[in-house]
Chains A and B, each alone.
Chain A
Amino acid sequence: MTKAGVPAHRAISPRPFAFHLAACQSTWLSGAAALPAFVQGLAPTHPSLAAEAAALHQDLCAAEGVKLAEAVMSAALARVGAFLDGVKRYQTHPAHRRLQDAPAALELGTSCLRDFGGPAGALPVLAAPSLVNPAHILDLERGMSLMRYLKQRGFHPFLMDWGAPGAAEADFSVDDYIARLETALAHVAAQTGQPAALLGYCMGGNLALPVALRRPELVRGAAFLATPWDFHAEGIAYRRAAALGGSLALLPPAEPVPVDVLQIFFASLDPTLTDRKFRRFAVLDPDSPAARAFVLMEDWANGGAPLPRRVADQCLNQWYAENAPGHGVWRVAGEVIDPRRLTCPAFVAVPRADRIVPPASALALAEALPNVRIHRAATGHVAMVAGGGARPGLWQPLVAWLFTLC
């Protein structure tokens, strides 16, 4: 953090910046360069865009060539400039997360269990986020905090904050983090005197499921928010992740996988998205709530810690490339993780517009769970938990389900 609370990594965000800048420049400059070929019908246009390409081709042919080429090049350069302007406005924006983290009730290496408090006898809810980005996506800002909303509604929320791996975690596997979550769950149950609701967001759900299976006496119910299960169900995410998993061999062995390498996975899902996002941000009123929310979300999305090498290898290769969970062969501490064995009530939230976890991947988990309520959210992966529509889109349906456990 800098003095004013702005995260230091903002100065090198969006990450990896070289990737995003290259994607932006190559998009627009290749567009300008390809114009003559397009006009001559020689540029490769995707079959799904054939009708649009034909109409555009007709209009371009009717324009005066030299003036058109100048206009396209000028517009291309303006777009690169607008992207850079958006990045500069983001990097220099005064907004930052102001919430104080909830106090740690338990420290486990560099991880800790954050306790938000709650009324005596309240149902404890233990939330496990992904290992990749910071835990505070579930406690981002006033009005954007699922944890604090749960407390307002009478529950006793706890948040597993995985922290950055230190020396003790450098050789951690996924199984080690699952064991850590199990320890935290036992602590929550002992502290509150009752079993808890387990809640996993994204791959946090993959960490929560084995815990719920191993310790059924400590779990009242389990919620899985945008949790992938059939990694090959649809979309391109598994292909991108598998390609990145193969490239791990190029990194120094036994060293954590840097954040910038992990960010390539998210960037590769739509290499054009960052350009569009930052050009839109460039023309937003910087004092608007939308601009502030954008900054907080970007700070979170570009944050995080390096991932222990074995964890990265398991996630990218065992999960994404081999689809061990979807094929029913994923083992934790020697036991196959079979969601059909989860007998407690379950809640599965599936964002309809999720690029990171395709809906079919998350629905595969719901289909395997015997006692499940499925909630389809009309939003994306991150917006579902912390966006402007999160309250009606997820929080309220989730709370309605949690009340059924009380």
Chain B
Amino acid sequence: MARKTAPSAPQQPEAAPPEATALTLLAARYLDFWQRNLLAWSNDIALPTVENSKDD
């Protein structure tokens, strides 16, 4: 559990052809957006109380 782990270098993006890199960046941009989108909705929506849930 407390064993010292060997430090490892941060993972580097793999080399990729320009088209694949653009696609990878676009995929990352979409996923980043998606996470912010979920959070924005989450902040907008009040969770139902237990009482309300029973009425559903």
Q: Do A and B bind each other?
A: yes
Give chain A's interface residues, CB within 8 Å of chain B: 2-6, 10-11, 27-28, 30-31, 34-35, 38, 44-46, 48-49, 52-53, 56, 59-60, 63, 67-68, 71-72, 74-76, 79, 82, 89, 91-94, 96, 236, 239-240, 242-243, 246-247, 249-250, 268, 270-272, 275-276, 282-287
Tell me the complex Cα distance, A220–B40, Å. 44
Q: Choose among A2, A44, A48, A282 the residue with the greatest number of B CB atoms under 10 Å from its CB.
A: A48
Tell me the complex Cα distance, A75–B33, Å. 13
Given A56-B33, A72-B27, residue A246 in contact with residue B49 (CB < 8 A)? yes
How many Å from the CB of B29 to the closest CB on chain A?
Answer: 7
Tell me the complex Cα distance, A214–B44, Å. 40
Given A68-B27, A75-B28, A94-B3, residue A49 in contact with residue B50 (CB < 8 A)? no
**Complex interface: chain A residues within 8 A of B18 (CB):** none
**Complex interface: chain A residues within 8 A of B40 (CB):** 46, 48-49
How many Å from the CB of A285 to the closest CB on chain B?
Answer: 7
Q: Is the CB of A271 within 8 A of B30?
A: no
Q: Closest residue of chain A to B42, judged by CB?
A: A271
Q: Is the CB of A89 within 8 A of B1?
A: no
Tell me the complex Cα distance, A11–B35, Å. 27
**Complex interface: chain B residues within 8 A of A283 (CB):** 10-11
A242: contacting residue among B7, B24, B49, CB under 8 A:
B49
Q: Is the CB of B47 within 8 A of A49?
A: no
Q: Is the CB of A286 within 8 A of B41?
A: no
Q: Decide if the interface of chain A is mainly helix, strand, loop or mixed.
A: helix
**Complex interface: chain A residues within 8 A of B46 (CB):** 239, 243
- Between A and B, 12 residue pairs with Cβ closer than 8 Å are A48-B40, A49-B36, A53-B37, A56-B29, A63-B26, A71-B20, A71-B23, A91-B1, A247-B50, A275-B35, A276-B35, A285-B10
How many Å from the CB of A64 to the closest CB on chain B?
Answer: 8
Beyond A92-B3, A246-B50, 11 additional pairs, beta carbon < 8 A: A27-B34, A31-B34, A38-B30, A49-B40, A53-B33, A56-B30, A75-B28, A75-B31, A93-B5, A250-B50, A268-B47
Tell me the complex Cα distance, A4–B4, Å. 11
**Complex interface: chain A residues within 8 A of B42 (CB):** 270-272
**Interface status of B56 (Cβ within 8 A of chain A):** no
**Complex interface: chain B residues within 8 A of A5 (CB):** 2
Q: Closest residue of chain B to A92, judged by CB?
A: B5
**Complex interface: chain B residues within 8 A of A79 (CB):** 31
**Interface status of B15 (Cβ within 8 A of chain A):** no
> Number of contacting residues on B, CB 8 A?
36
**Complex interface: chain A residues within 8 A of B37 (CB):** 45-46, 49, 53
**Complex interface: chain B residues within 8 A of A250 (CB):** 50
Q: Is the CB of A60 within 8 A of B35?
A: no
**Complex interface: chain B residues within 8 A of A82 (CB):** 11
How many Å from the CB of A368 to the closest CB on chain B?
Answer: 27
**Complex interface: chain B residues within 8 A of A71 (CB):** 20, 23-24, 26-27
Q: Is the CB of A74 within 8 A of B27?
A: yes
Q: Is the CB of A94 within 8 A of B39?
A: no
**Complex interface: chain B residues within 8 A of A49 (CB):** 33, 36-37, 40
**Interface status of B51 (Cβ within 8 A of chain A):** yes
Q: Is the CB of B26 within 8 A of A236?
A: no
Q: Closest residue of chain B to A56, judged by CB?
A: B33
**Complex interface: chain A residues within 8 A of B43 (CB):** 236
Tell me the complex Cα distance, A72–B28, Å. 7
Q: Is the CB of B1 within 8 A of A63?
A: no
Q: Is the CB of A60 within 8 A of B30?
A: yes
**Complex interface: chain A residues within 8 A of B28 (CB):** 75
Tell me the complex Cα distance, A223–B51, Å. 38
Tell me the complex Cα distance, A72–B4, Å. 35
Q: Choose among B8, B11, B26 the residue with the greatest number of A CB atoms under 10 Å from its CB.
A: B26
How many Å from the CB of B40 to the closest CB on chain A?
Answer: 4
Q: Is the CB of A6 within 8 A of B50?
A: no
B51: contacting residue among A48, A76, A246, A285, CB under 8 A:
A246
Tell me the complex Cα distance, A128–B54, Å. 39
**Complex interface: chain A residues within 8 A of B30 (CB):** 31, 35, 38, 56, 60, 72
In the complex, the 9 A-B pairs of residues with the closest C-beta atoms, listed nearest first: A4-B2, A46-B40, A31-B34, A243-B47, A71-B27, A283-B10, A246-B49, A246-B50, A75-B27
